[in-house]
């Protein structure tokens, strides 16, 4: 059984992520999307909300699941029984960081390999943070996200604004 994890923040999951998920899932038996519960960043969505959105947008993909994780990616890979870590590469700016992480993980866990999927060109400049920034200033985000995710972003920002940014 070939199992891969796809770790990241996914705050929220974008069409760029989804494209990587679809392509990675077609090459393995099971793909587990790992949502990092990062305490240092202040995310727009809780880790559980991010998992739920990924579950919704991948519900037609039977070999894809999502769960939260904390700590080292390789520990999460081992817990999942995964042999592969999937990452997406957008531009050269991703490359140095990704290479450093992959090399470090390889030293820590030689039995787990990292595989990279290059972005679909139309998503090369798409990131969750760009989407949040566009949404924050009232721009249209529907070309970057699944409709249900876009809806959740609008709702979250509206709640945040009405509660003075406390949610
Ligand atoms: P971001 O907040 O920048 O979207 P994530 O931590 O959520 O980053 O990303 C998880 C993984 O998905 C990383 O390997 C990242 O390079 C990749 N990724 C993010 N956006 C895209 C995209 N538009 N196309 C391809 N890969 C992507």
Instruction: Encode pLDDT of 98-135 as tens digits.
Output: 999 999 999 999 999 999 999 999 999 999 999 999 99
Q: Which CATH class is domain 3-122?
A: alpha beta
Q: Is the dihedral of CA 143, 62, 33, 116 positive or negative?
A: negative
Three-state secondary-structure class, residue 103: helix
pLDDT tens per residue, range 33-62: 999 997 667 899 999 999 999 999 999 999
Q: How far is CA 43 from the centre of its chain?
A: 13
Whole-prediction pTM: 0.93
* Residue with CA at minimum distance from ligand 1 atom 18: 88
* Residue with CA at minimum distance from ligand 1 atom 9: 8
Three-state secondary-structure class, residue 21: helix
Alpha helices by DSSP H, the chain: 15-25, 47-57, 73-80, 92-108, 128-136, 147-162
Task: Give me the active site residues, please.
Answer: 17, 41, 90, 128
């Amino acid at each position: 059984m070939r199992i891969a994890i796809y770790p990241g923040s996914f705050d929220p999951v974008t069409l760029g992520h989804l494209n990587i998920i679809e392509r990675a899932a077609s090459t393995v038996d099971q793909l587990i999307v790992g949502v990092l519960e990062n305490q240092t960043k202040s995310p727009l969505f809780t880790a559980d909300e991010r998992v739920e959105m990924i579950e919704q947008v991948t519900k037609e993909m039977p070999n894809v699941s999502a769960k939260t994780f904390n700590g080292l990616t390789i520990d999460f890979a081992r817990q999942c029984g995964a042999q592969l870590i999937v990452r997406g590469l957008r531009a050269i700016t991703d490359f140095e960081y990704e290479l450093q992480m992959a090399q470090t993980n390889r030293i820590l866990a030689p039995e787990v390999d990292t595989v990279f999927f290059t972005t679909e060109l139309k998503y090369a400049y798409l990131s969750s943070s760009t989407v949040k920034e566009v949404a924050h200033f009232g721009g249209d985000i529907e070309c970057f996200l699944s409709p249900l995710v876009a809806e959740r972003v609008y709702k979250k920002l509206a709640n945040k604004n009405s509660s003075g940014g406390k949610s």
